[in-house]
Amino acid sequence: MKITELIKTRRSIKQFKQTPIGEEELHSWLEAASYAPNHRMTEPWELLFIGPNTRAKLKHKTDFGNAPVVFAVLSKPAATAFERDENVMAAACFVQNFLLAAHEAGVGTYWASLGALPHNREILNVQENYDVIGIFGMGYPEEMPNAKPRTPISSKITYLS
């Protein structure tokens, strides 16, 4: 699939099959994702794979759509607020790379932001000054939702003289 088609056909998946995901394959998507742009080569992303006990404590409303794999992506701290923002942006680039690599293999993802809530940071044992980019449920989709329409990009563009 062309990259533009991959981007446009990715969906947030809300319900997953129980089919397991190969560990090697998963690592290959993470490794590919690490080629994300990141200023000063900070490579700020870190991953927490969430086991059943921790997952139960998070009390997610659908248990991440019963995804066979759940993990969190963190962005590491920085010396200044500016650099911290850069880290978060780079970590989000890492995530999008990962989502697309998984999608290319037919694997879907669910991005949940609840990991950033103070009580969930505690459950995840996230160290101070780390940002939680998201918690991700991942698996083969049970169903593929329709695309949510996007605003025409021309309305988002301003040309400066």
Ligand X SMILES: Cc1cc2nc3c(=O)[nH]c(=O)nc-3n(C[C@H](O)[C@H](O)[C@H](O)COP(=O)(O)O)c2cc1C
**62 touching ligand X, by CB under 6 A:** no
Nearer to ligand X, 89 or 114 (CB): 114
Cα gap 83→99, rounded to integer Å: 24
**11 touching ligand X, by CB under 6 A:** yes
Cα gap 143→110, rounded to integer Å: 12
Closest CA to 33 of 88, 98, 86: 98
Cβ atoms of 15 and 65 within 8 Å: the answer is: yes
Through-space distance between the first and last CA atoms of the chain, rounded to whole angstroms: 38
- Find the shortest distance in angstroms from Cβ 51 to ligand X: 21
**54 touching ligand X, by CB under 6 A:** no
Binding mask 127-156 for ligand X (x = CB under 6 A): -------x-------------x--------
Binding positions for ligand X, rule: CB under 6 A: 11-12, 111-114, 134, 148
